[in-house]
Amino acid sequence: MHLDRARAESFGSVATDYERYRPGYPDALYDDLLEPRPQRVLDVGCGTGKFTVGLVERGVTPLGVELDPRMAEIARGHDIPVEISAFETWDVADRRFDLITCAQAWHWIDPGRGVAKAAEALRPGGTIARFWNHNEVDEPLVSALDTVYAEHAPDAHPHGRAPAEDTGYVDPFGASDAFTDLEVRTYRVERMLSADEWVGMASTFSDHQRLGPERLARLGRAVRATIDAHGGTVRAQCRTLAVFARRG
């Protein structure tokens, strides 16, 4: 996905909605990340600070790296220092970090160059954690949403089903001699969203943004009507999939 730069660089155009509608991250994830008491933390692709602000609230002020100035401006409003750069070309200088985090962004980074940059930025024994949120919706709503998307946006993902467990994907950190102890952890939180909140969240995804304003608006109306017909709210299991690796 990192080669599709139009999608990778589309989020700044919806920075305000991204900040408003994207979910945060579970307390248990923060607990696991901060249990070793890292002193220097780098958040890669920090965006508007959806994850990073939770670190600040827990007494840790990380350095953010973000490609889009519009996203970074919102993060800076949360008192997060941000350097504007693609991670692959970011200047590490003489800095080394105990922990690198990357929320919802690693798939936009060149895997080979990203692993090399992470190895350069982490101290020996330091950890990198990459994680993604997935919202899973129960039947019969999830099938109803599939039907709406088949009619209005077959080239966009409904974001209601669990991701495939076995895709044949080989994690580049697991294949790197610079990293060890690859570990996958899963965190679950139940969320209740209104129709507007669900549509607002979905509209910030890059595959929805490329639909264009008119198609996106039609899809949003159809999704709202479907949710209203199923009780007016979405009961979603938000699963956060986190992948940890240690710098050798």
> What does the pLDDT average to over 148-152?
97
The pTM score is: 0.94
State the Cα–Cα distance between residues 200 and 194, nearest whole angstrom: 10
pLDDT at 168 (0 to 100): 65
Asked if pLDDT for residue 4 goes beyond 70, the answer is no
pLDDT at 159 (0 to 100): 85
pLDDT at 53 (0 to 100): 98
Find, among 115, 111, 104, 106, the residue nearest to 48 by Cα.
Answer: 104
pLDDT at 169 (0 to 100): 75
Asked if pLDDT for residue 165 goes beyond 90, the answer is no
Measured in degrees and rounded to the nearest 5, phi and psi for residue 199 equal -65, -40
pLDDT in tens, 13-60: 899 999 999 999 999 999 999 999 999 999 999 999 999 999 999 999
Which helix or strand (DSSP H or E) is residue 183 part of? strand 179-194
Find, among 75, 71, 83, 84, the residue nearest to 55 by Cα.
Answer: 75
Asked if pLDDT for residue 3 goes beyond 60, the answer is no
Architecture of domain 5-247 in this structure: 3-Layer(aba) Sandwich (3.40)
Measured in degrees and rounded to the nearest 5, phi and psi for residue 209 equal -60, -35
Least confident of 12-16, 119-123, 160-164: 160-164
pLDDT at 163 (0 to 100): 78
State the Cα–Cα distance between residues 78 and 30, nearest whole angstrom: 18
Tell me what percent of the residues of the chain surpass a pLDDT of 90: 90
Ordered DSSP codes for 60-86: --PEEEES-HHHHHHHHTTT--EEES-
